[in-house]
Structure 1
Amino acid sequence: MRWWMRHEARQSERRAPIVPEDARRLIDAGFDLVVETSTRRAFPAREYAAAGCRVVPPGSWTKAPPEDWVLGLGEPPAEPWPLRHRHVFFGHAYRGRPAGAALLERFAAGGGELLDLEHLVDGKGTRLAAFGYWAGYAGAALAVLHRAGLLTLPVAPLTRPELEERLRLCRRSARAGRAVSGGAVSVLVTGADGRCGRGARDALAAADVDTTGWGPRDTTPLPRGRLLAHDVLIHAIGPDHPVPPFLTRADLSVPGRRLSLLCDISCDLGSPFDAVPVYDRLTDWDRPVRRLPGTGRPLDVIAIDNLATLLPVESSRDFSAALTPHLLALATGTTSGQEPWERSQNAFRRATAARAARRVA
C-alpha cells in the first residue's frame, strides 16, 4: 500500500498529518510512504528521509498511479481539478458550506473518493483523530492576547512554551489592569467539556483569566442575557445538526451588551450549522481580528479556520499519534480497524448520491 503525504496548498498551513517518528512506525509496518517536500511544514523533509520515506517535490502525487492513496490536511490545490485518487483529508464537504459542493464536483469529475477525516469516528460519532484541543487552546490564547494589547502581527507559529510565556505576560498585564479599573475580564466558553472547550479553558487558566464554562445543560434554553453579560465569548461548539443561534445580529443591538469579543472556533460560516451568524467572512493570520461594522458597541471577531497551526509541532504530534494506529489498521484489514474508515466512506457515498439525485431532479 503506497501513500503520498502531499504538500499543503494553503500558505498558512504548518502542520503535518503524520510526523517523522510515526512515519517510521508506518515504514516498519510495511508502508510505502512518499512525502512531498514543503518549506512551510514544521517538520523538515530530512527527518522523513531519515525515517525511511521517499522524499519527492511538491505536486508529485498528481502523477501517482490511481490505486495509490493521498494523505493531507486541507483541500488539495485547485489543479488538477478532477480528483482521481482515494484521498484522506479534512474536506468539510457535507456541512452545507459553499466550498463543499465544489469539492464533491472535483471527485465526481475524476472518479476519486474522499475518506474525510472529519468522519473518521467511533460508534458514538466521536472523532478518532482531531485538532480540536489545540484549536481551542490557540483561539483562546489569541483572544487573551488581543484583549491585553499583546497580539503582534502577522501572527507566526509558536511552540507551547513560547505561547505560554506570552500568556504569562497577559496575566501580569491583567493584574495591573484590575488594580486600575477594579474589575476583571469575564470569559464564557461554550462547549466547555469538549476537545475545543478543554483546550480553551487550559489557555485561559494559563493567563489567569476568570472563565465560565457552559455545556448542553447550560444552553437549553439559552440564557441570552447572561451570555451578553460576558466580555468575551469563546464559541467551541461544532454541532452535527442545525441548532438555534447562540448569537445573532439583533443581539448586538441589545442595550447594555457587555460582549465585545467573539472567538469562533467552529468557523461554520455559510453552513446551516453556524450557531453564531454575526460575521460574513473569516479572519486570517495576517489579520486575525476584525471589528464588525454597524454594531453600536464594538464587537471584534476572531474566526480563523486552521487555528491549531499556531502550534504546529504539538498539534501535529498529537494528531499523528491518534491517526497512525488507524492507518495501520486500514493496511492490515482487521474488521474492527476497518469500521471507522467505512463510516467515512459511507458519508462520502451518501453525499455524492444526494448530489446526483439533486442533479436529476
Structure 2
Amino acid sequence: MKKLTIWLRDEARMTERRTPLLPEGAKELMAAGIDVVVEKSDKRIFKNALYENAGCTMAEPGAWEQAPTDAVILGLKELPAAPRALEHTHIYFAHAFKKQSGWQSLLTRFMRGGGSLLDIEYMKGDDGRRVAAFGFWAGYMGAALALLQWHDQKVGRPSYINEGLMPHESAKALDHLISSRAMAGEKPTALVIGAGGRSGSGAIKILERHGVEVTKWGRAETKDVDREAILGHDLLINCAYVTGQIPPFLAPHHIKADSRLKVISDVSCDPFSDYNPLPLYSAPTCWKTPAIAAKSHEGRVDLIAVDNLPSLLPTEASIEFATMMLPYLKSLRDRAQDPVWVNCNASYQHACDTMTKSEVA
C-alpha cells in the first residue's frame, strides 16, 4: 500500500495563525508511517524550524497545488480563489454544507477537479457529536471582546478593540488586559445562549472569572424565546449551533431604545446561512473593526462577529484542537473504516447531491 501523505498548507487568510497539526503531532504521524509535508509560513504560531526539526518535508507556501493528487491537504480556513478545479482531498472548515454564500461555486471546483472535501465541522461520531472543534477558545475570546467593549462604553472612552485586534500572547495576558480596562465595582450581566456546548463553556469561564453574573440558556430556553429577557442583560454571547430554521433570537425590530442590552458577541457567526438566529448584520466583522452597530430600528447595540476568534489565542487554541485532530489524522489511511471520516464524506456527498438536484430543478 502506498504511503499516505498529509500536506499542511499555509493559510491564505493573513490573520490566521492557528494550526491543526503541531510539530509533535507531525512526528507521531511520521512514526506511524505517514509522510508529512509542511508549507513554510510566516503566520503560523509554531515556527517553521520546529517542523523541520521534527523531520517534516518543507515546501513553499501554496505548493499544495502541485502536490501528488493522492496527498491529503490539511488546513483550517478558506482556500484561495484559484485553482478553478480542485483535485485533492482537502480537510478544513469550508462553511459550505448549509448553503452559505458561495457554496455552489466551491463545490463545483471540487466536482470539476475530482477532489473531495472533508469539512472539519462535519467530523462526527455515530452519536452525532463533533470530535474536533475550536469551540472553547472561540467562546472564551468572543466573551472577552464583548467585555472589553462594554467597559469602554460604560466610561465613554474610544473602543479598545476597534483600534485593531492582535493575537494575545496567552490567556493570562488577556486576563490582565480585561482587568486593566475594567472599572472598579462595575460588573455587567451576561446571557450565554448555547451554554452547554464547548463555546458556551469557554464564554462562561472567562465571564465568571471577571465577576460577571451569567444567565445560561440551552435548547429548552430557546424553544419559545423570551426576548425581553435577552434585552434585559448587558451582554449577549451567542454560542448556539443551529442546523435548521428557527425564529430569530433577535431581529432589528426587537431592539428598543431603552433596552439594557449594549453588546452582542455572535460567536457562532453564520450570517450567510438561512439559519442565522441573529439577522442583525450581513457579513462577519473584521480584526480591524470588530465591533459595529447592529441593525436596529431603535437604539444602539454594538455587535461583534469575528469568524476566527480562536486565532486571537493561537497557542492555546492550536494545542487543544490539534490534540483532538491527531487520532483522526492517524486513521486517514483507513478512513473507509473510520465512522468519523465515513460520516464526514457522507455530508460532502449529500451537499453535492443537493446542489445537483437544485440545478436540475
The equivalent position to 1:175 in structure 2, one of 177, 181, 184, is 184
TM-score in terms of structure 1 length: 0.93
Amino acid at match of 1:341: W
Query: Tell me, what secondary structure is at the counterpart of 2:19?
Result: coil
Partner of 1:309: 311
Deviation at 1:144, TM superposition (A): 0.7
Structure 1's 306 and 111: CA in aligned 2 closer, same or farther, altered over 3 A?
same
Deviation at 1:90, TM superposition (A): 0.7
Deviation at 1:281, TM superposition (A): 2.3
Partner of 1:251: 254
Asked whether 1:165 is paired with 2:176, we answer: yes
Query: Tell me, what secondary structure is at the counterpart of 1:348?
Result: helix
Alignment of 1:1-361 (within 5 A): 1-149=4-152, 151-152=160-161, 153-158=163-168, 159-170=170-181, 173-176=182-185, 178=186, 184-252=187-255, 254=256, 256-292=258-294, 295-332=297-334, 335=337, 338-361=338-361
Deviation at 1:333, TM superposition (A): 5.5
Deviation at 1:62, TM superposition (A): 0.4
Amino acid at match of 1:258: R
Deviation at 1:353, TM superposition (A): 1.4
Q: Tell me if structure 2 keeps the 8 A contact 1:235–1:266.
A: yes
The gaps in structure 2 that reach 5 residues or longer are 153-158
TM-score in terms of structure 2 length: 0.93
Query: Tell me, what secondary structure is at the counterpart of 1:175?
Result: coil
Query: Tell me, what secondary structure is at the counterpart of 1:66?
Result: coil
CA distance in 2 between partners of 1:292 and 1:266 (Å): 16
Amino acid at match of 1:359: E
CA distance in 1 between partners of 2:334 and 2:97 (Å): 29
Query: Tell me, what secondary structure is at the counterpart of 1:200?
Result: helix
Structure 1's 294 and 327: CA in aligned 2 closer, same or farther, altered over 3 A?
closer
Query: Tell me, what secondary structure is at the counterpart of 1:305?
Result: coil
Deviation at 1:220, TM superposition (A): 2.5
**RMSD of the alignment, in Å?**
1.5
Deviation at 1:255, TM superposition (A): 5.7
Amino acid at match of 1:347: S
CA distance in 1 between partners of 2:257 and 2:49 (Å): 58
CA distance in 2 between partners of 1:308 and 1:333 (Å): 28
CA distance in 1 between partners of 2:56 and 2:69 (Å): 20
CA distance in 2 between partners of 1:240 and 1:23 (Å): 33
Amino acid at match of 2:178: L
Deviation at 1:294, TM superposition (A): 5.5
CA distance in 1 between partners of 2:335 and 2:124 (Å): 17
Deviation at 1:270, TM superposition (A): 2.3
CA distance in 2 between partners of 1:75 and 1:146 (Å): 28
CA distance in 1 between partners of 2:269 and 2:32 (Å): 37
Deviation at 1:168, TM superposition (A): 2.7
Q: Tell me if structure 2 keeps the 8 A contact 1:91–1:116.
A: yes
Q: Tell me if structure 1 keeps the 8 A contact 2:253–2:296.
A: no
Query: Tell me, what secondary structure is at the counterpart of 1:234?
Result: strand
CA distance in 2 between partners of 1:265 and 1:72 (Å): 21
Deviation at 1:128, TM superposition (A): 0.5
Query: Tell me, what secondary structure is at the counterpart of 1:259?
Result: coil
More deviation, 229-238/287-296: 287-296
Q: Tell me if structure 2 keeps the 8 A contact 1:168–1:206.
A: no
CA distance in 2 between partners of 1:292 and 1:331 (Å): 46
Deviation at 1:292, TM superposition (A): 3.2
CA distance in 1 between partners of 2:293 and 2:252 (Å): 14
Deviation at 1:332, TM superposition (A): 4.9
Q: Per-residue CA shift, 1:182-233, capped at 9, x if unaligned?
A: xx42111001111110000111122221211111222221111111111110
Q: Tell me if structure 2 keeps the 8 A contact 1:132–1:195.
A: yes
Q: Per-residue CA shift, 1:42-69, capped at 9, x if unaligned?
A: 0111000111111111011100111111
CA distance in 1 between partners of 2:246 and 2:143 (Å): 23
Fraction of identical pairs, as percent: 37
CA distance in 1 between partners of 2:205 and 2:55 (Å): 37
Query: Tell me, what secondary structure is at the counterpart of 1:301?
Result: strand
Structure 1's 283 and 334: CA in aligned 2 closer, same or farther, altered over 3 A?
closer
More deviation, 311-320/199-208: 199-208
Q: Tell me if structure 1 keeps the 8 A contact 2:147–2:178.
A: yes
The gaps in structure 1 that reach 5 residues or longer are 179-183
Size of the alignment, in residue pairs?
Answer: 350
